[in-house]
Amino acid sequence: MVGSRSMSRIDPAKKNEHPVSDTLENASHVSSMDAEKKKWMEDNRVAFAAYDALVDRLGLFGEEYRNFE
């Protein structure tokens, strides 16, 4: 009985194993997403700077109602 109990704990773990190809594909996907994020941020750098300048000049919307520091 002890042997069957330990096998029942091992079998689900084996079912969740991922082949190396899946792991590499996932890593490639994450790397691709990181590259897309960096490109998007660079493409929108001017808009971020304009928004920051607007906030510096006018403040944040609703800031006068903020009740925390």
Each residue of 22-52: b (16+ CB within 10 Å) or e?
A: eeeeeeeeeeeeeeeeeeeeeeeeeeeeeee
Which pLDDT belongs to residue 28?
83
Coil vs helix vs strand at 3: helix
Which pLDDT belongs to residue 26?
83
Q: How many domains does the chain have?
A: 1
Which pLDDT belongs to residue 29?
82
Domain that holds residue 58: 2-65
Q: Is the pLDDT of residue 37 over 90?
A: yes
Which pLDDT belongs to residue 9?
58
Per residue in 42-53, pLDDT (tens digit) is 999 999 999 999
Per residue in 1-23, pLDDT (tens digit) is 555 555 555 555 556 666 777 77
Which pLDDT belongs to residue 19?
72
